[in-house]
């Protein structure tokens, strides 16, 4: 795949998320699609007629895109890398965002698992700086634990320097 985002001489991050991330995002997309369909159904009750039909079509189209296309694109775009002195993240479909967080600035790091993630055997690594939190979502549980420990370790050594 062609490198996304503006050209930099910083090496691109290479690690991907767990393949099951797509399943997770599909289920989440399905959730919002169902909400959209319910909204359209509600509108049909109010308006009725051909306009509502167009509404159904639009909702179905958006739902299909959210369930089928977006998770795939998102997964293909997501890259991350934990280096000795920094965490490098690249993600986004319509807008590609590349973020570098210096290890020295990482205050603490933890993993979280929602219900869906538990079911799929996934976990999210969240690392906090004074400016806020960043995350690497949907890694396998084993890998997430490993990444969390490694970031914690590197952040500590960075502080001692």
Q: Shortest distance, CB of residue 134 to other proteins, whole angstroms?
A: 7
Round to whole Å and give the CA distance between 21 and 23.
Answer: 5
Q: Shortest distance, CB of residue 77 to other proteins, whole angstroms?
A: 12
CB nearer to other proteins: pick between 8 and 118: 8
85 contact partners, CB below 8 Å, separation of at least 6: 102, 103, 104, 154, 158
* Residue 156 CB neighbours (<10 A): 11
CB nearer to other proteins: pick between 113 and 150: 150
Q: Shortest distance, CB of residue 132 to other proteins, whole angstroms?
A: 7
Q: Shortest distance, CB of residue 102 to other proteins, whole angstroms?
A: 5
Which residues lie near other proteins (CB under 8 A)? 4-10, 85-86, 92, 94-105, 129-132, 134, 158, 161
CB nearer to other proteins: pick between 44 and 134: 134
């Amino acid at each position: 795949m062609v490198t996304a985002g503006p050209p930099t001489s910083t090496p691109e991050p290479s690690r991907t998320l767990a393949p099951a991330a797509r399943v997770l995002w599909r289920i989440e997309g399905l959730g919002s699609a169902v909400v959209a369909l319910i909204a359209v159904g509600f509108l049909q009750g109010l308006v009725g007629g051909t306009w509502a039909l167009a509404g159904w079509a639009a909702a179905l189209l958006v739902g299909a895109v959210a369930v089928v296309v977006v998770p795939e694109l998102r997964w293909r775009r997501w890259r991350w890398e934990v280096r000795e002195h920094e965490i490098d993240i690249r993600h986004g479909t319509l807008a590609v965002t590349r973020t570098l967080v210096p290890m020295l600035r990482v205050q603490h790091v933890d993993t979280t698992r929602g219900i869906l993630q538990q079911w799929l055997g996934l976990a999210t690594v969240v690392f906090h700086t004074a400016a806020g939190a960043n995350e690497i979502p949907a890694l396998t549980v084993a890998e997430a634990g490993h990444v969390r420990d490694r970031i914690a370790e590197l952040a500590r050594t960075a502080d001692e320097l």
